[in-house]
Amino acid sequence: MKSAVFAALLVLSALAVSPSRADAPANLVSTGNFDFYVLTLSWSPGFCDNGGESKSPDQCATGSGQGFVVHGLWPDNLNALDPSDCGGGEYVSGAALEETHGLYPNSGLARYEYNKHGTCTGLSAENYFAAVKYARAQFAIPDMLKAPSEPFDTTPREIESAFIAANPNLTTGSMAVTCEGGELIDVRFCVSKDLGSFIECPKVARHTCHSSSISVSPPR
Active site residues: 71, 113, 117
Rounded CA gap, 77 and 201, in Å?
9
Q: How far is CA 189 from CA 13, 93, 146, 153, in A?
A: 18, 28, 17, 22
Residue type, 211: S
Residues 35 and 190: beta-carbon distance below 8 Å: no
Rounded CA gap, 126 and 44, in Å?
25
First to last CA, the chain: 25
Q: How far is CA 18 from CA 14, 65, 110, 143, 163, in A?
A: 9, 23, 26, 12, 10
List the one residue out of 179, 176, 185 whose CA is nearest residue 204: 176
List the one residue out of 115, 109, 111, 108 whose CA is nearest residue 85: 115
